[in-house]
Amino acid sequence: VTQGRNAPGVFLMREVENASDLQGLFDACHKVTYTRDRHGGAVPTSLQIEGVTHCMNDQVFRQYMETRERLRSRMTGLATQSAC
């Protein structure tokens, strides 16, 4: 675990134990899609994870959780009001 440069509270964790779970997610979700920007070129048929970096900013995550809880409380209040 290393602290990010010029960004207090940002921690980079280089080794993720369940990278195979992420590979499974990519395998299950990948879809071959031909788009105009390929100009007839090859389209990837799969994606291979070569490494995983977990980046977490405690302050931003805390703000996200607080906002999520405020919204959840507000939505619960609206559902209660409409039920009456």
DSSP character string of 27-67: HHH------GGGTT----S--------EEEEHHHHHHHHHH
pTM of the model: 0.42
The C-alpha atoms of residue 51 and residue 2 are separated, in whole angstroms, by 17
**pLDDT per residue over 31-81, tens digit each?**
888 888 888 888 888 888 887 766 678 888 889 899 999 999 988 877 777
46: amino acid identity, one letter:
S
